[in-house]
Amino acid sequence: MTNTATDGTEVKTCSEFFADRASVGLITMCVSFIIVGVNFALKMLLVELIKALHLKTVTIETNYTMVTIFIGQFINTAVLIVLNNASFKDFDEGNGPLSMIFFVGTETDFSVTWYRTVGLTIMRTMMSQALWPLIEFAMFYSILNLTRLADRKFTSDTFTTGMPSVQAYIDTYAGPEYLIHYRYAAILLQIGVAFCYGCTMPPLYGIACLAFVILYINERLLVCYYYREPPAFDEKMTSLTLDLVSKVPYIMLPMAFWQLGNR
């Protein structure tokens, strides 16, 4: 196989090279979707764990849930992938406990290779995370409609049902509960990752903006036509979210200093 070089000359290239590049791209994309899937599973697990605590009020429960979901997803998305590829051989020459037990990667700094591998994975993950509300709605809406169709034996008559009680019928044909704490956690995740790595990867700011537009349009429509009427919350969750957002720049400052300090 031949290809054109930058100076216009024809050079021979190996087909295995392009196959390997395609495989690497596919693996990176799969890793991004796996991270998003783990975030979703982590969200469901944390919601159930917080409910098991039986806190005094719904507001306290949702506040705890929002904070734990944000912290868990942020660590899974922005921290673990970096630590998994980190190497501390510059500090302990590869013989210390960090290199032997915890960090077995190859990246010692924010190098070109880091941006091509880890940085690209983070951006693809956040793009997948931005599109996730649409994917989540399509997935659960399909499951909900299939459940309703099965209940009325795949007919169009909504008065035909196999539910044993009125409440069971209402639970099947009413919309799902509106998990407002998950939405706040998604907003905080986009802001946190964008500020953490956006100084040297500016597309993250655009991805975060796209995520907010999708989330706004999606939630405005679904609250009106899909979800059940959400319970009345006070202003504590919104105030807590704004307070957490104000702390995000403190994460950005050391990261930006580290990234920009790499010559």
The full set of domain ranges for the chain reads: 28-260
Exposure string of 53-83, with b = 16+ CB inside 10 Å and e = fewer, is: eeeeeebebbbbbbbbbbbbbbebbbeebbe
Q: What is the average per-residue pLDDT within 60-70? A: 85
Res 155: pLDDT: 82
Q: How far is the first Cα of the chain from the last one, in angstroms, to the nearest whole number?
A: 37
The answer to whether residue 211 scores a pLDDT higher than 90 is yes
Percentage of the chain surpassing pLDDT 90?
Answer: 12
**Distance (Å, rounded) from C-alpha 176 to C-alpha 83?**
37
The answer to whether residue 4 scores a pLDDT higher than 80 is no
| Residue among 146, 138, 226 at smallest CA distance from 178 | 226
Res 81: pLDDT: 81
Q: What is the average per-residue pLDDT within 211-230? A: 88
Res 193: pLDDT: 92
* More confident call, 201 vs 28: 201
The answer to whether residue 98 scores a pLDDT higher than 70 is no
Res 53: pLDDT: 81
Q: Is the separation of the CB atoms in 193 and 199 below 8 Å? A: no
Res 13: pLDDT: 60
Res 217: pLDDT: 93
The answer to whether residue 24 scores a pLDDT higher than 60 is no
Res 190: pLDDT: 92
Beta bridge partners of 2: 12
Res 93: pLDDT: 62
Averaged pLDDT score across all residues of the chain = 80
Res 164: pLDDT: 82
> What pLDDT, in 10s, does the model give residues 102-161?
556 677 778 888 888 888 888 988 998 899 889 888 988 898 888 888 888 888 777 788
The answer to whether residue 28 scores a pLDDT higher than 70 is no
